[in-house]
Amino acid sequence: MKTVVLKFGGTSVGSIDRIKKVCKIIAFYKKKKYKVIVVSSAMSGVTNELVSKSKLISDNFDRAEYDTLVSTGEQVSCALIAGRLKHIGFKSRSWTSWQLPILTIGPHTSARINSVRIKGLKNYIRSGGIPVITGFQGVNENLRITTIGRSGSDATAIMLAKFIKADECIIFTDVDGVYTTDPRQYKKAKKIKKIFYDEMLEMASLGSKVMQPTSVQDAKINNIDIEVKSSFVSNSGTLITGYKKSFSDQIITGISSTKNDAKITVVGVKDRPGVAASIFKPLSKNLINVDMVVQNISLDGRETDLTFTIKSEDLKKTERLIKQNKNISFKKLSFDKGVSKVSIIGVGMITTPGITYRMFQALALKKINILVISTSEIKISVLVSAKHVKRAVAALHKEFKLE
């Protein structure tokens, strides 16, 4: 008998009617003789409401109490799902993270799942029961509730699949799979039937909101296949899998674009060993994520210009930190908030020459200027003016025959 983990996102359980529909999906798998484990997020909007309440209480709300507060949202949805399953004739009960328990390590609000005690869970499943487990949370060594960060319910489902040795892990959301690019921005986007972990990891980190990068990384490390499906329609979804399990002749799998980027250039920095580290150290300490980095050395080798990108909301803080940094000297700072990153992703580019040329040529034909370039084995990213993003995505989508 196969074991399946079914995870439902906030929009899937966003109302009583949607919870009733979710229970029909769960019943479908149970009637197919699957052993079913359910993981649920909080009802859509509930976590945001709880966070807002914490801000009204304090500007510096205690992080441990924050975790205790926001974890209550999943308890509500899980109790409602279990109650509905009982109503339609199934054996079911809700489980909170501490009842298994799901053991975590790391700080409050951003803990990671370390292990899951499954003895009681396995006994309950063997008895024919459907456990409905709170996602997004666990308990630490001090028996305090911890949370795994926003969208952490995906991580809960993946780790449960690992420890219970499930045959399938299905993530139900409000979209029916992963698309070649954001279908809201480009109507000719096509659903991807199969995508490799590394490709999905790149797409998630570059702006795709279907899954969080940490969840994809957990799936890759533990070699767990994930299917992303919609809870609203019965269409087939997207399989996220590993290289060794599958093969694809598609060179480019998808295109991602970001919003709210800013470009910073530190002009005329006195060049010496460790200067880049001196610039980025205070940014790192202040949790500012630096993305694309380009360095240009002057002809005499005495000075360098350093260009990098950050999120727009970090721009003022970054400017202040650089100006206050006494370990560097420079001639000028320049900033540009109106930029976005456009990336092509695909494992096929590892063995296919000419991809870089085709990307640059497609953008050039549309008169789109490239500001910064960054590459990896399976990704090429370019920074362009934000006003050109839609045209860039359309041109690349057509060039690599993703339509």
Task: Check which CATH number belongs to the domain holding 155 and give it.
Answer: 3.40.1160.10
pLDDT at 130: 98
Q: Which of 28-42, 233-247, 265-279, 320-334 is least confident? A: 233-247
pLDDT at 150: 67
Q: Is the pTM of this model over 0.95?
A: no
- Evaluate the CA torsion angle 184, 189, 192, 196 in order and state its sign: negative
Whether the predicted pLDDT of 247 surpasses 70? no
Q: Which residues of 33-68 are buried (b: 16+ CB within 10 A; e: fewer)?
A: ebbbbbbbbbbbebbeebeeeeeeeeeeeeebebbb
Whether the predicted pLDDT of 151 surpasses 80? no
Q: What is the pLDDT of residues 250-289, one digit of tens each?
A: 789 999 998 889 999 999 988 888 888 999 999 999 989 9
Mean pLDDT of the chain: 92
Last residue of a domain, one of 154, 174, 194: 174
Mean pLDDT of the region 150-172 = 92
pLDDT at 259: 83
Query: Does 109 reside within a domain?
Result: yes
Whether the predicted pLDDT of 182 surpasses 90? no
Confidence of residue 385 (pLDDT cuts 50, 70, 90): very high
Residues 162 and 169 sit within 8 Å (Cβ to Cβ): no
pLDDT at 58: 96
Query: Does 384 reside within a domain?
Result: yes
Query: Does 223 reside within a domain?
Result: no
Residues 139 and 96 sit within 8 Å (Cβ to Cβ): no
Query: Does 26 reside within a domain?
Result: yes
Whether the predicted pLDDT of 67 surpasses 70? yes
Mean pLDDT of the region 84-90 = 98
8 and 145 both lie in a single domain: yes
153 and 21 both lie in a single domain: yes
Say what percent of the chain tops pLDDT 70.
Answer: 97
Query: Does 21 reside within a domain?
Result: yes
Whether the predicted pLDDT of 245 surpasses 60? no
Query: Does 49 reside within a domain?
Result: yes
pLDDT at 301: 73
Residue, of 25 and 348, whose pLDDT is higher = 25
261 and 162 both lie in a single domain: no
155 and 265 both lie in a single domain: no
17 and 165 both lie in a single domain: yes
Burial (CB < 10 A; 0-12, 13-18, 19+), residue 149, is: middle
167 and 261 both lie in a single domain: no
Joined together, the tokens standing for residue 189 give 């986007």
Residues, the chain, total? 403
Residues with Cβ < 8 Å from 195, sequence gap 6 or more? 178, 203, 238, 239, 240, 241, 253, 254
Long-range contact pairs involving 286-291 (C-beta distance under 8 Å, separation at least 24): 286/317, 286/321, 288/314, 288/317, 288/318, 288/321, 289/314, 291/261, 291/341, 291/374
List C-alpha distances in Å: 101 to 119, 185, 230, 307. 10, 42, 29, 47
Mean pLDDT of the region 344-373 = 93
First to last CA, the chain: 39
Residues 121 and 100 sit within 8 Å (Cβ to Cβ): yes
Joined together, the tokens standing for residue 300 give 């005499």
Q: Which of 5-14, 187-196, 291-300 is least confident? A: 291-300
Say what percent of the chain tops pLDDT 90.
Answer: 74
How many folded domains does the chain comprise? Answer: 2
Mean pLDDT of the region 13-20 = 97
Q: Which residue range is the domain that position 302 belongs to?
A: 257-399
d(CA 229, CA 43): 18
Q: Which of 42-46, 105-109, 350-354 is least confident? A: 350-354
Whether the predicted pLDDT of 19 surpasses 90? yes
Q: State the virtual CA torsion across 77, 71, 9, 379 in degrees, nearest 10.
A: -170
Q: Which of 187-201, 263-277, 294-308, 378-392 is least confident? A: 294-308
For residue 116, give the H/E element and its range. strand 112-116
Query: Does 34 reside within a domain?
Result: yes
274 and 164 both lie in a single domain: no
Last residue of a domain, one of 139, 158, 174: 174
d(CA 65, CA 268): 47
Query: Does 115 reside within a domain?
Result: yes
Joined together, the tokens standing for residue 149 give 């960060």
pLDDT at 233: 87
For residue 29, give the H/E element and its range. helix 16-31
Confidence of residue 303 (pLDDT cuts 50, 70, 90): confident
Last residue of a domain, one of 174, 190, 216: 174
CATH number where 293 lies:
3.30.2130.10
Mean pLDDT of the region 298-302 = 74
